[in-house]
């Protein structure tokens, strides 16, 4: 039985690496367009955490500002004789202790709490705005990376075709059937294509670095071969309505609420603030002790340069906040119209390139090859047509990517499911 176990052990040792190797060598899954946006929206980011901490601090301050001020304790000696320093010498000598509580005018405390809550709301909406901007930046970086990688792929294919043409022309020149200028022209186009590949590699590395800022090592994953199907935007009326939910608009609305709370505080300042105080006085020598209680009121008589000015300033600040919201909505509406116009025009250009330009460029290139084979076309014409195919393919890819960027701009303005 031992030989059987021995060979079984050797067989298992041979098969185990074969079973593990595919798992170890398997490439990571492709990084999709929307997956990159989701990873960026869910990833912890110091900028987002900083705003969250700020919002939490403001919420704590809202509770603190809405609370009554601390009571004040008072203690002291009253009418203490300085000739003998005996507390029983004079009947008015006392050891006093008192407690005082102040109350701000009207509902001032409630309005102060509302003011802080509105500031916390501003911070929360700024966090939402930053997250939306991060998703927008990641989408554009993904598209830039896709454009660079696919352009590299197209350039490499065309470089291979140019090298084949150059090789054939070199052989023709060696046999004396063509001139050296054709060889030089082919080598020039090859050098230009290699330089183009180098520039595309630089663009790819920059886009990957931008992606890595938000999604870390996921930026090193390969991209799919094609762009996602994003679909047409909704109707302009629906998109215009969605602008009101933009985080920047919500932050302006919270700023309006803050200024309204300031108006409330300014209006309450016309009411008197008041306080209550109670005290107890101990007298030595068996004399009766004293107790006292009193109320204080502020009298807002001279309001022209204090209360009136503060109320006027608060109202102007509220009006400025309202105008700021209106101006922001106009800016967002303008940006949305621009993005929609870009998307529509790029849709037309994409259809034109797909249905006419690229097909005709390929047909012209094939026709020039056939004509050259029949002796009715020269070699530079073949090279020009090959380069024209390359430029048409790159232009089509750029239009497709620009249209996806227009879609991303619309999503940034009107919102999506990554908030």
Between CA 258 and CA 328, with CA 244 as vertex, the angle to 5 degrees is 70
SS3 per residue for 345-388: HHHHHHHHHHHHHHHHHHHHHHHHHHHHHCCCCCHHHHHHHHHH
Per-residue confidence (pLDDT) for residue 184, from 0 to 100: 73
Residue whose entry in the numeric block shows the structure tokens 């052989």: 171
Cα distances (angstroms) measured from residue 84 to each of 75, 79, 288, 350: 22, 13, 22, 106
Sheet containing strand 274-282, edge to edge, reads: 72-78, 94-103, 274-282, 290-297
Per-residue confidence (pLDDT) for residue 159, from 0 to 100: 81
Per-residue confidence (pLDDT) for residue 4, from 0 to 100: 37
| Residuewise pLDDT in 10s, the chain (419 residues) | 334 334 334 433 433 343 343 444 467 789 999 999 999 999 989 999 999 999 999 999 999 999 999 999 999 988 888 888 888 888 888 999 999 999 999 999 999 999 999 999 999 999 999 999 999 999 999 999 999 999 999 888 888 777 777 666 665 555 555 555 666 777 787 888 888 889 999 999 999 999 999 999 999 999 999 999 888 999 999 999 999 999 999 999 999 999 999 999 999 999 999 999 999 999 988 889 999 999 999 988 888 889 999 999 999 999 999 999 999 999 999 999 999 999 999 999 999 988 888 888 877 777 776 776 666 666 667 777 778 888 888 899 999 999 999 999 999 999 876 66
Q: Which helix H or strand E contains 102, and what residues bound it?
A: strand 94-103
Residue whose entry in the numeric block shows the structure tokens 């073949």: 382
CATH class of the domain comprising 37-69+104-269+306-414: mainly alpha
Distance CA 138, CA 412 (A): 11
Per-residue confidence (pLDDT) for residue 374, from 0 to 100: 67
Per-residue confidence (pLDDT) for residue 180, from 0 to 100: 56
**pTM, full prediction:** 0.81
Per-residue confidence (pLDDT) for residue 132, from 0 to 100: 95
Contact between 77 and 96 (Cβ < 8 Å): yes
Q: Which structure tokens are listed for 247?
A: 């985080």
Distance CA 258, CA 244 (A): 19
């Amino acid at each position: 039985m031992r030989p059987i176990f021995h060979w079984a052990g050797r067989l298992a040792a041979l098969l185990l690496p074969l079973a593990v190797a595919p798992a170890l060598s398997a490439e990571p899954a492709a990084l999709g367009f929307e997956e990159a946006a989701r990873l960026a929206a869910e990833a912890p980011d110091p900028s987002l955490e900083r705003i969250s901490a700020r919002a939490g601090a403001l919420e704590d301050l809202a509770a603190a500002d809405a609370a009554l001020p601390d009571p004040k304790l008072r203690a002291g000696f009253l009418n203490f004789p300085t000739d003998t320093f005996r507390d029983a010498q004079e009947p008015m000598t006392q050891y006093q202790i008192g407690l005082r509580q102040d109350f701000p005018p009207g509902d001032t405390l409630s309005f102060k709490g509302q003011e802080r809550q509105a500031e916390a709301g501003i911070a929360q909406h700024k966090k939402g705005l930053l997250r939306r901007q991060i998703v927008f930046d990641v989408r554009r970086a993904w598209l830039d990376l896709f454009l660079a990688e696919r352009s590299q792929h197209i350039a490499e294919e065309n470089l291979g075709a140019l090298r084949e043409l150059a090789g054939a022309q070199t052989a023709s020149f060696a046999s004396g059937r063509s001139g050296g200028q054709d060889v030089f022209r082919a080598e020039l186009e090859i050098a230009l294509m290699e330089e183009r590949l180098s520039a595309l590699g630089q663009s790819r590395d920059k886009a990957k670095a931008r992606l890595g800022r938000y999604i870390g090592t996921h930026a090193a994953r390969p991209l799919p071969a094609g762009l996602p199907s994003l679909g047409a935007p909704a109707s302009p009326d629906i998109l215009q309505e969605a602008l009101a939910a933009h985080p920047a608009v919500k932050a302006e609305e919270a700023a309006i609420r803050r200024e309204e709370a300031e108006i409330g505080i300014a209006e309450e300042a016309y009411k008197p603030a008041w306080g209550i105080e109670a005290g107890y006085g101990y007298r030595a020598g068996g004399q009766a002790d004293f107790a006292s209680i009193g109320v204080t009121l502020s009298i807002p008589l001279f309001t022209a340069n204090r209360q009136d000015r503060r109320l006027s300033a608060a109202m102007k600040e509220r009006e400025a906040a309202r105008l700021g919201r209106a101006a922001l909505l106009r800016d967002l509406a303008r940006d949305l119209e621009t993005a929609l116009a870009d998307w529509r025009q790029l849709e037309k250009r994409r259809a034109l390139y797909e249905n006419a330009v690229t097909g005709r460029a390929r047909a012209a290139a094939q026709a020039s090859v056939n004509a050259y084979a029949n002796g009715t076309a020269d070699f530079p014409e073949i090279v020009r047509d090959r380069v024209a195919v390359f430029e048409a393919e790159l232009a089509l890819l750029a239009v497709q990517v620009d249209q996806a960027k227009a879609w991303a701009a619309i999503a940034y303005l009107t919102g999506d499911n990554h908030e």
